[in-house]
Amino acid sequence: MRLKNWLKGTNAVVLSLAVIGIFIVLTIFLHSLKGVQWDFSKDKKFTLSDQTKTTMQQLKKDVHVLAFSNQGGEVDPEITDMLSAYHKLNSKLTYEEVNLVKKPALAKQYNVTQYSTIVFVIDGKTNLVNPSDIYLQDQTTGAQSFNGEQKFTQAIVNLSTEVKHPVYLITGHGELTSETASTFTQGLQQAGYEVKDFNLVGTAQVPTDAEALILLAPQKDLGDVETKVLQDYVKGKGKLIFGLNLVPDMDKWKNWYAILNTLGIKNQLSLAIENNSKAGDPFTIVPEYGSHAITDKLMEQNIVTILQGALGLTADSANTSYQSTALLKSTADSYGKTNISRFTSQEPLTQADVAEKDTDPKGPLDLAYAIQDKDGKPKAIVIGNSFMFENDLIGQYGNNDFIMNSVGWLQEQKDQLTIRPRLVDMPQQAMISPSQGRVIQYISLIIIPLLILLLGGGIWWRRRKG
């Protein structure tokens, strides 16, 4: 009997040691498979896209990444996990975690002003990825998503590309410049554009290397000579981004509207008013999107844009040289105020000034257009609002996404990535009553342990009797 029990015990020990040994050998073997991993998560959320894998395989230069900490002094694990995955694909990418509070000099060196900023460095050139670009929130459902892969890979592509695309901000009529629209300018530079200011006044031609002209918020009309220069540019191969703002005496302009008429667009000279604005302000428009390559992704992710003081636009159906597609629209519950001089005067507005009248254009009002030529090639972007380009508004909601999508579409940038953001798993909470909580407490603390004791005692008794 004792021998039999001894053999049983020995077999159990040998079997246990064998299982442990197999586990150790398997662990060592799996650890030796460098770069091999399996993603069993839903929707493969930890698997890098083919675009990222190709980019990393083709990477020839060293990339150093500085991941600045959050307010707690740590770098978010989603970021470090992703950077680690990039490093496994190509060891030329290295990264370090930087405590923003403990190393303010390093943050100043790279112009880092926000927690959780990621800085990519190649050959001394930098590309900053801000937390607002990494963590997205669905404004409808509140669901959060992690957009790190798209922004990280795009930063590497931008820094690795040697070719620069010259674009010019038109000045001379009170427009926004590269300095007054510095955030927009920085975004263009990080996307591989060379941005310069260009004073159109008194010039005979547009710079020959200009891939696009950007005109934002002119405060006075264009001169006749400049009009001819700009019309020749637009009628040729030139591309244009034109943003209007409501300014005094714009209803008396002639030449700027001649440029718009060339493209088949008219300024309706009406200020868009929302009866039931989602922003709580009738002058602040949360526009609806038209179907287009610029806006489709924003619609898919429920990312909204914000326009303050937007002007209504119309497309000239008689213009057969260009095709226009409405990108942004006010709602059907909106209208346009045509008494625009009241909104640019210094006198206080009254309710009567804002109230809807029978003669006011009814919503929805078109607020932005994408324009193509007869061959379907991108030609221009016209927006009845330039405030969204200013430093204090471009970072709000999806304004920057809309703007950069528009620039990328206009320039036919094939290297602008569209990697789908990953949904962030949010903790699920169950709402229970106090009585339900007590039942769960009794079951987990008393009943389940008691059942385990009874089961163990029964097994012990049977073995003892046997």
DSSP class per residue in 176-215: --TTTTHHHHHHHHHTTEEEEEEE-TT-SS--TT-SEEEE
- Asked whether the beta carbons of 83 and 116 are under 8 A apart, the reply is no
Residue in this structure with the two tokens 């290397």, named with its chain if needed: 209
Q: Return the higher-pLDDT residue of 264 and 400.
A: 264
Question: Beta strands 334-337 and 265-274: pairing type?
Answer: antiparallel
pTM, two decimals, is: 0.69
- Tokens linked to 382: 């016209």
Whether residue 374 contacts residue 321, with contact meaning beta carbons closer than 8 Å, is answered with yes
Mean pLDDT, to the nearest integer, of 344-366?
89
What is the architecture of the domain spanning 163-410? Answer: 3-Layer(aba) Sandwich (3.40)
42-156 CATH pick, 3.90.79.10, 1.10.240.10, 3.20.20.60, 3.40.30.10:
3.40.30.10
Q: How far apart are CA 418 and CA 149, in angstroms?
A: 10
Q: Burial of 76 by CB count in 10 Å (0-12 exposed, 13-18 middle, 19+ buried)? A: buried
pLDDT at residue 15, rounded to an integer: 65
H or E element at residue 438: helix 434-442
**Cβ atoms 175, 200 nearer than 8 A:** no
Which of 29-38, 129-138, 185-194, 347-356 shows the lowest mean pLDDT across its residues?
A: 29-38
Q: What is the distance between the alpha carbons of residues 222 and 205, in angstroms, rounded to a whole number?
A: 15
The predicted-structure confidence for 97-128, as pLDDT tens digits, reads as follows 999 889 999 999 998 988 999 999 999 989 99
Domain ranges of the chain: 42-156, 163-410
Q: Which DSSP string do the residues of 322-366 spell out, in sequence order? A: EEEEEEEE--TTEEEE--HHHHHSSSPP-HHHHS--TTSPBSP-E
Task: Give residue-wise pLDDT tens across range 12-23.
Answer: 556 666 767 776
Give 357 or 32, the one with higher predicted confidence. Answer: 357
DSSP 73: S
Q: Both tokens of residue 273?
A: 């008013």
